Amino acid sequence: MAPFFLLFALVTVAPIGYAAWLSLFREERSGLGFGGARQVFSGIGNYTKALSDPLFLASFRHVAVYCLLYIPVMVGGALVLALLLDSALARARRFFQIAFYLPHAVPGLIAAMVWLYLYTPGLSPVLDVLDSAGISWNFFGRDEALLSVVNISAWQWMGYNMIIFFAGLQAIPRETLEAATMDGAGAVRTAFQVKVPSIRPTLVLTVLFTCVGAVQLFDAPQLLQLRATEMGESWSPTMYVFSAAFKGHDYGLAAASALLLALVAGAASYVVTKLGNRWRSA
Amino acid sequence: MTASPAAAEAATAATGPGPAPSPATPRRTAPATPARTPRGGALLSRTAVNAALLLVTAYTLMPLAWLVLAATKNRRDLFATGPYAPGDFSLLANLGEVFTYDDGIFGRWLANSLLYTVVGSTLSALTSVACGYAFHAYEFRHKEKLFGVVLAGILVPATVLQLPLYLMASAAGAVNTYGAYLVPALVNPFGVYLARVFAEGYLPDEVLAAARVDGAGELRLFAHVSFPMLWPGFVTIFLFTFTAIWNNFYGALTMLNDERLYPVSLGLFMWNRSVYQQPELYPLVITGSLVAVVPLVLAFLGLQRFWRSGLTAGAVK
C-alpha cells in the first residue's frame, strides 16, 4: 500500500500542487533580451489571461458541442446494441461481441490515423459511397471536423460500453423478466421499462467516465488538424494547454489553463453524479 | 455465455458459509434462452435485429478491413485502385521497408512499446493489487477517507497532470528518459479500486483468518495465500494498464523528443506528419499501423475472459 501512495503522491498530488504554484507566476524577460527569464509573481494574472483568450473559450465550446453529440450517440448506441444482443432474437452473440469490441483494442492514435485516411479523398471508401449518392462532403471542413472527431470516438468506445451494459443486462434476475412477460409486457416494453432501469447505476457510471474522457480529448483532433488546418492547434482544451506550453513556452498560462480544465472536469463529474443519483432514486 | 466467467469461478472457489457475494457475481448465470420468445412477426423481427447487428459489425470492421488491405498495396496502387480493390500484392515489400527504413528505427519503437507496457503494467498491477488487498484485509485509521482519495484520483484527468509532470521531470533532468514516461504510468487508482472489488469477491475473511491461525506472517500471507487467489484480478488490471500505456500518446509526446525512445504510436505520428512532404512514407505509416495493431488485437482475443471480467467487476455494482 505504501508504494502506491508514495507514487500517487509523486505523480498526482505533487503535480497539482506544482501546477497551482506555477500558475501564479509569469516569466518576464529583461528588456534587452538576454540575462534569461525572471519569474514574476502575477497572482491570478494567468487565470484572467486564459479566461479572456477567445481560443481557450472556443476550445471548451468545441468540447461542449462534442459532448452533446457524442454522449447520446455513443451511450445510446451502446445501450441499443446491448438490448438487441440481450433479446432472444440475437444470433451469434459471441461473434457480435468480439466484432463490436475490436475497435477498442486499436490504440487511440492509430484509430484516428486510420480514420484520417478514410476521410481523405482518393483513399476513402466512405467518400466514394457518398459521391455515388451525389453527396459531397468534406470531413476536414471547419464544422464537419467536429463530426469527424465524434465518429472516431464513437467507433472506439461504443463496443466497449456495449459489453459493460450487456453484462449488466445478463445479470438481471430471470424472475423479474418472467414476471414482466406474465404481466403482458412485450419485448420492447420490457426492454425500456424493466431492463434499462435496472442498469441505471452502470449507465450513470459510463456517462461519468465518458465526460472525464471527453474533457481530455486530444489524440484524434491533434491528428486531424494536420489536415483540417482550420481547426487550429488549440481546438480542444488539452490541445490549448499543450500549445501554450510547448509552442508558446508560457508555462504559467499552461498551468493555469490546465487547472481550469481540471476544475471544469470536476464540476462536470459532480453534476453528472448528482443528476445520476436523482435519476437513480426517481 | 455467463455474465462473468471469472466471477463464476470465484463463486465456486469461495466455499464455506457464504461470504458476501462479489459485486460481480451474476445473479442469473443462464444464458438468455428462448424462454423469452416473442409472439407474432418473430421471423421478421429476428431478421431485423440480426441485420441491425450485422450493419454495426460492418461499421466496426470496415476501417480494420481497409487497413489490412491497404497494407498489401504499394504506393501507386494505394491511390490508383479502389479502396477495397486489391492491388499488386506488396505486403512483404512494405513490411521489409517498414523494418529497414531509417536504420530499422521502427523495430526499436516496437521494442520500446513492449518494454513500456510490460514493465509498466507489471509494476502497476502489482502495486494496485497490493494496495487494494490492504484496503480489503486491514482496518486502519481514515481507511475510507483514503479510499475516497483514490476514487477522486480516478476522476483527475490524466492530461491535466501531464504538463506539471513534464515540468517536474524537466526540473529533475529526467525528460527524455525511459523513467519519465514510465513512472507516471505506474499509478493507477482505477486498478486499486478494481483490486479491492476483486479482493472482496475472491478472498473470504475465513481464508485470511485460517492462514493466520496456521502461523503465516503478513508478508507470506499476501505472497503465498492471497496473491494466488487474486491472480485473475492481477491479470485483469495488468491488461487494463497495458492498453492504457500502449495508448498513452499525450504522455509520450510531452516527455520524449529523442526518437530512439519513442513508443510505436508516437513514431507513427511523426512519420504521418511528414507524409505530406514525403508521400513515399504512406505505405510505411499504413503497414506500420497494421503491425502495431495486430499483436494487441490477438492478445485481446486470447485473453478475452480477463478483460470481460474486469469490465464486469467495474460495472455490475
Reported as a single tens digit per residue, the pLDDT across A39-54 is 667 667 777 877 888 8
Q: Is the pLDDT of residue B33 over 50?
A: no
CA dist., res. A47 & res. A41, Å (int)? 13
- Given a contact cutoff of 8 angstroms between Cβ atoms, the answer to whether A113 and B272 are in contact is yes
Cβ-defined contact of A202 to B26 (cutoff 8 Å) = no
What pLDDT was estimated at residue B39?
47
Q: Is the pLDDT of residue B230 over 90?
A: no
Least confident of A53-57, B66-70, B187-191: B187-191
Q: State phi, psi for B140 to the nearest 5 degrees.
A: -150, 170
Average pLDDT, chain B: 77
Of A32 and A271, the structure prediction assigns the larger pLDDT to A271
Confidence band (pLDDT; 50, 70, 90) for B13? very low
Burial track B25-42 (b if 16+ CB lie within 10 A, e otherwise): bbebbeebeeebebeeee
Cβ-Cβ contacts under 8 Å, A27 against chain B: none
Q: Is the pLDDT of residue B189 over 60?
A: yes
Cβ-defined contact of A108 to B249 (cutoff 8 Å) = yes
What pLDDT was estimated at residue B191?
84
Of B309 and A76, the structure prediction assigns the larger pLDDT to A76
What pLDDT was estimated at residue B173?
80
The rounded percent of chain A whose pLDDT value lies above 90 is 12
Q: Is A101 exposed, middle or buried (0-12, 13-18, 19+ CB in 10 A)?
A: buried
CATH fold of A43-281: MetI-like fold (1.10.3720)
- Please give the average per-residue pLDDT across B215-237, as a whole number: 81
CA dist., res. A275 & res. A272, Å (int)? 5
Q: Is the pLDDT of residue A160 over 70?
A: yes
- Please give the average per-residue pLDDT across B142-164, as a whole number: 80
Element (H, E) at A27: strand A25-29
Confidence band (pLDDT; 50, 70, 90) for A30? very low
With H, G, I as helix, E, B as strand and everything else as coil, classify residue B38: coil
Reported as a single tens digit per residue, the pLDDT across A82-114 is 988 888 777 788 888 888 888 888 888 899 999
Cβ-Cβ contacts under 8 Å, B6 against chain A: none
Nearest chain A residue to B147 by CA distance is A5
Least confident of A32-41, A72-81, A130-139, A145-154: A32-41
- Say how many Å lie between the first and final Cα of chain A, rounded: 39
- Say how many Å lie between the first and final Cα of chain B, rounded: 20
- Please give the average per-residue pLDDT across A195-216, as a whole number: 84
**How many beta carbons lie within 10 A of that of residue B82, not counting itself?**
10
Confidence band (pLDDT; 50, 70, 90) for B313? low
- Please give the average per-residue pLDDT across B39-43, as a whole number: 53
Calculate how close chain A gets to B76, using CA atoms only, in Å: 12
What pLDDT was estimated at residue B8?
36
Cβ-Cβ contacts under 8 Å, A128 against chain B: 82-83
What pLDDT was estimated at residue A280?
61
Cβ-defined contact of B315 to A205 (cutoff 8 Å) = yes
CATH fold of B104-308: MetI-like fold (1.10.3720)
- Cell 465518429, located at residue: A151
What pLDDT was estimated at residue B154?
79
What pLDDT was estimated at residue A227?
82
Confidence band (pLDDT; 50, 70, 90) for B217? confident
Confidence band (pLDDT; 50, 70, 90) for B26? very low
What pLDDT was estimated at residue A215?
84
Q: Which among A18, A118, A187 has the least Cβ separation from residue B167?
A: A18
Q: Which among A171, A208, A269 has the least Cβ separation from residue B26?
A: A171
Reported as a single tens digit per residue, the pLDDT across A235-280 is 898 899 888 888 877 888 888 888 888 888 888 878 887 887 777 6
Q: Quick one: how far is CA B146 from the chain centroid?
A: 26
CA dist., res. B125 & res. B233, Å (int)? 9
Cβ-Cβ contacts under 8 Å, A110 against chain B: 265, 268, 289, 292-293
What pLDDT was estimated at residue B41?
55
All structural domains of chain B with their residue ranges: 55-89, 104-308
Q: Which among B30, B60, B160 has the least Cβ separation from residue A103?
A: B60
Q: Which of A46, A73, A113, A250 to mutate to test the interface with B (most CBs of B within 10 A)?
A: A113
Q: Which of B60, B122, B128 to mutate to test the interface with A (most CBs of A within 10 A)?
A: B60
Average pLDDT, chain A: 81
Cβ-defined contact of A163 to B308 (cutoff 8 Å) = yes
Reported as a single tens digit per residue, the pLDDT across B266-285 is 999 998 888 878 888 888 88
What pLDDT was estimated at residue B254?
86
What pLDDT was estimated at residue B16?
35
Cβ-defined contact of B254 to A242 (cutoff 8 Å) = yes
Q: Which among B26, B79, B272 has the least Cβ separation from residue A170?
A: B26
Cβ within 8 Å of B, A 24-63 = none
Cβ within 8 Å of B, A 104-123 = 104-111, 113-118, 122-123
Cβ-defined contact of B130 to A173 (cutoff 8 Å) = no
Calculate how close chain A gets to B5, using CA atoms only, in Å: 11
CA dist., res. B6 & res. A56, Å (int)? 46
Cβ-defined contact of B183 to A7 (cutoff 8 Å) = yes
Q: Which of A58, A80, A111 is nearest to A220 (CA)?
A: A111
CA dist., res. A99 & res. B304, Å (int)? 12
Calculate how close chain B gets to A16, using CA atoms only, in Å: 7
All structural domains of chain A with their residue ranges: 43-281
Cβ-Cβ contacts under 8 Å, A86 against chain B: 32
Question: Residues B269-275: contacts with CB within 8 Å, 24+ apart?
Answer: B269/A109, B269/A113, B269/A223, B272/A113, B272/A116, B272/A223, B272/A226, B273/A226
- From residue B157, alpha-carbon distances to B162, B192, B280 in Å are 9, 17, 38
User: Is some CB atom of chain B closer than 8 A to the CB atom of A242?
Assistant: yes
Q: Is the pLDDT of residue B83 over 80?
A: no
Confidence band (pLDDT; 50, 70, 90) for B11? very low
Q: What is the pTM of this model?
A: 0.80
Cβ-Cβ contacts under 8 Å, A165 against chain B: 315
Confidence band (pLDDT; 50, 70, 90) for A152? very high
What pLDDT was estimated at residue B308?
66
CA dist., res. A262 & res. B281, Å (int)? 38
